[in-house]
Amino acid sequence: MRRVCLTLPTDRACAGTIAAVHQEAAYAAGHFEVEVHLLVLDSSDEETVAEHAAAVRALAPVPNVVTHHLDEASQRVFLRGVIEQARVAQPELVLSLMLPDRSSYGACTNRAFLIARALGCESVLRRDSDIHYQSLDGVPVYPVHHELASLGRPASEATAYVTETALDPGRAHRPVAMVGSSFIGELSVDISEIEKLDPEVYHDMVSLWAPTDWSAQQKRELVAESFRGAGTEAFSGDRSTLTVVDPMRVDMSNIGFHQVQELVPLPPGTETIGSDYFLIHLVHDAGLPGVLHNRHIVNYYTPERRTDAGFAAYHVRLVKFFLSMLYFNAVYARMAAAGESMLDDRDQVRPAVIAGFLRESAELDRAENVRRLRTLDGCYRRLGGRYAAFADLLAVRGPRLLDEARRDIEDFALLTEVWGPLIRAAGTATSLEPRRQLEHSST
């Protein structure tokens, strides 16, 4: 029986989401020949961690569903054991990249990838704490239905489980590396207020994540579809396509990976929105098969980000996202040009190639980012109110954010270079201490 990891990283109260994702795990175990490891990675405060632990204990036992709830202390013990066994250079730096002291969307998912390997899981499915599932006739619509039908199968076999095939027959021998969908509801990035206040400012800001050589029309098209997911259309029946999946059509709260996550990690950059989307681009550019389906989740906003403190923290992450694009746009261009040459003779991604692209991008002149900061300063000041107050903060923190953006890409290159040893260490039968840690977390 194959094992899969269904992971829920969180740093906020979400007992209801834990229960809902556990029900999805139960659905998976009841409809597929799998053992599902539900992995709750908890970076919340002490009181919330206790609430989540109680919520996990209250879950009804389900055959072939094993639940793990790990707070950051437990995660650190696991990571230290793996890093020590992997014998990587700069172990303390690697630990800080895997478990930073600031928010990191990529790092939390990287921890899930390593833990999944230790648990013997061949695929990793991710959900977020601020989601709801859609329903049809009162029955929840679970993305895992499509993920487990196709992930890891040769694409030639996965054709039997989709409603449409749009894949080059020359790629049909490759296994399905990714299955994903998107979201409906509120924008994935909390900037709808900006669009309401001033559509021109909204355009000027969102277009900053486009490559600088794009035309005005290309930027308008990007702005028009950015962060909107699948719109508002409610689920009415399954549609799925076997294809090379367009990165703009899927969301990291509704995604499943097979094998590729053991070859290349996600960027560990801190305080950066969208830092966890790299593998979606890699799967696409390498020509690996995927399935795009329409079991979209429902995105909503948590109240914390609307507070003054939450507002400032959120917009720092947004600014760092725009600054990260100097480097990622260059890497994406290199990956798109390289295409299938990024694969070895077993059709697996070559991590050294990706690390090389990352190292090259870190050498880019940051004048483009200086201009981004200048544009953002003007945008925030045109909006007025607390946006203008944030511009004052940005004026002080801007130089440091420029340095952080470059360091983040250098850190990503380093982590990519040591990822193989970390994965092997997590999976080895002699990795006893990390395994004990996971066993103690099980309910």
Tens-place pLDDT, residues 22-81: 999 999 999 999 999 999 999 999 999 999 999 999 999 999 999 999 999 999 999 999
| Cβ neighbourhood burial of 378 (10 Å; 0-12, 13-18, 19+) | middle
Residue carrying structure tokens 């694009």:
325
- Quote the pTM value: 0.95
Least confident range of 193-197, 215-219, 229-233, 319-323: 229-233
User: 440 pLDDT exceeds 80?
Assistant: no
Please give the average per-residue pLDDT across 166-178, as a whole number: 97
350 versus 233: the higher-pLDDT residue is 350
Under the banding of pLDDT at 50, 70 and 90, the label for residue 430 is very low
User: 190 pLDDT exceeds 70?
Assistant: yes
Under the banding of pLDDT at 50, 70 and 90, the label for residue 186 is confident
Under the banding of pLDDT at 50, 70 and 90, the label for residue 384 is very high
pLDDT at 432: 42
| Structural contact between residues 421 and 87, judged by C-beta atoms closer than 8 angstroms | yes
Q: For residue 191, which phi and psi values (nearest 5 degrees)? A: -130, 20
Under the banding of pLDDT at 50, 70 and 90, the label for residue 420 is very high
User: 283 pLDDT exceeds 60?
Assistant: yes
Least confident range of 96-100, 151-155, 272-276: 272-276
* Percent of all residues in the chain with a pLDDT value above 70, rounded to a whole number: 95
3-state secondary structure the chain: CEEEEEEEEECCCCHHHHHHHHHHHHHHHHHCCEEEEEEEEECCCHHHHHHHHHHHHCCCCCCCEEEEEEEHHHHHHHHHHHHHHHCCCCHHHHHHHHCCCCCCHHHHHHHHHHHHHHCCCCEEEECCCCEEECEECCEECCCHHHHHHHCCCEHHHHHHHCCEECCCHHHCCCECCEEECCEEECCCCCCHHHHHHCHHHHHHHHHHHCCCCCCHHHHHHHHHHCCCCCCCCCCCCCCEEEECCCHHHCCCCCEEEECHHHCCCCCCCCCCCCCCCHHHHHHHHCCCCEEEECCCEEECCCHHHHCHHHHHHHHHHHHHHHHHHHHHHHHHHHHHHHHHHHECCCCCECHHHHHHHHHHHCCCCCHHHHHHHHHHHHHHHHHCHHHHHHHHHHHHHHHHHHHHHHHHHHHHHHHHHHHHHHHHHHHCCCCHHHHHHHHHHEC
Distance, CA of 127 to chain centre = 9
Predicted confidence (pLDDT) per residue in 239-250, tens digit: 999 999 999 999
Please give the average per-residue pLDDT across 144-155, as a whole number: 98
- What's the mean pLDDT when you consider all of the chain? 94
